[in-house]
Structure 1
Amino acid sequence: MPPLTRRLAIALALAAAALLGPGRAAACTVSAASTNLGSASSYTVASTSQAGSGSAGLQCDVTLALLAAHYIALRVDASTFQLTGPGGQTIPFVASLTQNGPQLPLNTLQNLSSTPLLTLLGGAGNTVPIYFRTTATPALRAGTYTGFLDLRWYYSVCSVGVVACLSYSNSPGLTRPLAGTPTVLGTGAPVRITVSLVVQNDCMITAPAATFGSAPLVGSFNPITRTILIRCSAGAAYSVGLDDGANADGNVRRMRAGTGAAASYLRYEIYKTAGSTERWGATGTARRSSASAESNPGIYDSVTSQGYTYRAAILPGQVTPPAGDYADTVRVDVAF
């Protein structure tokens, strides 16, 4: 061998020896991970699948791993396959290695070695991503719902190399020749993936328009009654308030005709029930409790509506304003 060739061979050998030293890092590591599917209202979770992705717990150094053929496989050891929340209510979920892919089965080895490594390690920080999606589930109470997926990783990925792989980083107990598939899988590296979703309280409100009709004088308008229908998330007691409208004078509600300096106003009020003289407002005792509804009080199953019948009246003692179409907008709010 010519002298130059020998020197290069020695240099390569020394470099390989340095890389094989005790301080080298493993090509792959396994660590617990979590996926937060975010938060959504109970009615959204009831009608729409919630989806998200995160790390499946395996991270690899792609630079070294690309020097040689890799072996990566996983098995699902256990899973809740459902998120459990308040009162033991559950939301089923699917875990997959591709978006909208098939459910990962229990106790079945999934050999991922045929997938190109750059594709397989497509998650943040060269991690294997995992995807979760829920099944639409109605009548849920608000709160945090959690579940888990226990995975076991088997891997053999290049950890030392210059122009070719000199050593592999293997999961516990896995053995393989420098070329070829593993001969013994060993115990693998277990990891738990935690999954969570926050379900928020929400309400469906039906508030029909209240129309007084027409009359020539303020004193000619008759009071009217209307019913507001509200249904909220399961188990959620609440209170209902009405604000003072868009044209209030202090805490007196007013309808308006026209704009600017030419605007005219007609004072009116809304009372808590059909026969009440107690003003229905937005704060403190002026609000209404869900337990005081005229229909279905205290039934909080996300399906049954509570009905609140109120009386609205044009206030007497005011000067009849100019003829016109008078209107106001009052906001209904629900507080838990």
Structure 2
Amino acid sequence: MSLNRLPLARLFSALAILLVAMLAPDRAAACTVSSTSTNLGSVSSYTAASTAQQGSGSAGLQCDVTLALLATHYIAFRVDASTFLLTGPGGKTIPFVASLTQNGTPLTTGVLQNLSSTTLLTLFGGTNNSIPIYFRTTPTAALPAGTYTGFLDVRWYYSVCSVGVAVCLSYSSSPGLVRPGLGTTINWGTGTAVRITVTLTVQNDCIITAPAAAFGSAPLVGSFNPITRTILVRCSAGTAYTVGLDDGSNASGGQRRMRAGTTANYLQYEIYKTAASTERWGATGTARRASATADANAGVYDSLTSQSYTYRAAILTGQTTPPGGAYSDTIRIDVAF
């Protein structure tokens, strides 16, 4: 009876391959802690005043949890410091809250949050296996335009499996953390500190109220009386501006005109800067009106008080009376900062 045997060289090769496989188990990346930032976007000052702004980002701890699913993990954190305020131009502030779930319980300073009982796949549900954190602002009025910035100083404590197949062979742990043993409790150690920066950009914005201007009816162009109307403008806090009126939808050679429906019949008119002025109110250069020259509340830039601009509109008497009809035009108002 003969036995099948591997040649000696081949036998050594098989053993070598087996030994390498046993001595080099799969490795998962260690947990990392790093400073992060969350940008809540860019909104108008009036949106920030009426609607809470929300956003999320990484809370600073990222782990490869593939192998950690096989072992007991310990994860906790504490907010060491925060004003829970976003601070912007002139020291103006926007309160905010931070939480580990969207619209969740707000975090406070000095309280250890033990997350060890949370399923790892749920806990590390953020981008690239990071723990997410959620931010929500409090609607705040009278905000000047600019960038508003706040922070959370967070300290992370963790011990997560980083090497192992059937059992965990090594843990990725924060400084000083000692896992519990028989009759002993966990020592969280000193942890690792990280800063989370939060920003929100507030943009200039205005609320404009412009009533329609009607000349009424008359048989001849010389029979129309001039009319006065008032435009109300209020803008973001602390911001001077200018107001311009364009030439309308039917202008020709810079002359404003009303049109009778879709016909080729026009009625020339003009708009002047004040109730008594003969200076044309236009869209460029000195033809614009400065907020410092408003007829009411000039120079008041608190985002709550409207400035008023009273103008005079007149149908030009030197033109030939066009055919009867209903004539109209649309003027666009623009505000420049």
Report the Cα offset of residue 13 of structure 1. Answer: 7.5
- Residue of 144, 166, 169 corresponding to 1:166: 169
The 8 Å contact of residues 16 and 162 in structure 1, kept in 2 or not, is answered as no
Distance of 1:209 and 1:138 partners within structure 2 = 29
Distance of 2:80 and 2:18 partners within structure 1 = 43
What is aligned with 2:335? Answer: 334
Distance 1:12 1:149, change over 3 A: farther
What is aligned with 1:122? Answer: 125
**Matches for 1:259-274 after TM superposition, within 5 Å:** 259=262, 262-274=263-275
Distance of 2:186 and 2:18 partners within structure 1 = 29
Distance 1:68 1:11, change over 3 A: farther
Describe the SS at the equivalent of 1:62: coil
Distance of 2:276 and 2:41 partners within structure 1 = 45
Describe the SS at the equivalent of 2:188: coil
What is aligned with 1:258? Answer: 261
Distance 1:9 1:106, change over 3 A: farther
The 8 Å contact of residues 233 and 301 in structure 1, kept in 2 or not, is answered as yes
- Residue of 40, 47, 50 corresponding to 1:47: 50
For residue 240 of structure 1, what is the amino acid of its counterpart? Answer: V
**Matches for 1:178-197 after TM superposition, within 5 Å:** 183-197=186-200
Report the Cα offset of residue 175 of structure 1. Answer: 1.4
What is aligned with 1:305? Answer: 306
Q: Deviations over 1:75-105 (max 9, x none)?
A: 0000120000000010000000000011112
Gapped runs of 5+ residues in structure 2? Answer: 1-13
For residue 267 of structure 1, what is the amino acid of its counterpart? Answer: Q
Distance of 2:149 and 2:292 partners within structure 1 = 31
1:230 is the counterpart of 2:233: yes
- RMSD (CA atoms): 2.1
For residue 136 of structure 1, what is the amino acid of its counterpart? Answer: P
Distance of 1:188 and 1:17 partners within structure 2 = 31
What is aligned with 1:112? Answer: 115
Pick which of 62-71 and 213-222 moved more.
62-71
For residue 133 of structure 2, what is the amino acid of its counterpart? Answer: I
1:221 is the counterpart of 2:224: yes
**Matches for 1:1-336 after TM superposition, within 5 Å:** 15=21, 17-19=23-25, 26-176=29-179, 183-259=186-262, 262-336=263-337
Task: Return the TM-score normalized by structure 2.
Answer: 0.92
Describe the SS at the equivalent of 1:166: strand
Task: Return the TM-score normalized by structure 1.
Answer: 0.92
Distance of 1:179 and 1:125 partners within structure 2 = 35
The 8 Å contact of residues 270 and 311 in structure 1, kept in 2 or not, is answered as yes
The 8 Å contact of residues 25 and 165 in structure 2, kept in 1 or not, is answered as no
Describe the SS at the equivalent of 1:125: coil
Report the Cα offset of residue 27 of structure 1. Answer: 2.5
Gapped runs of 5+ residues in structure 1? Answer: 1-7
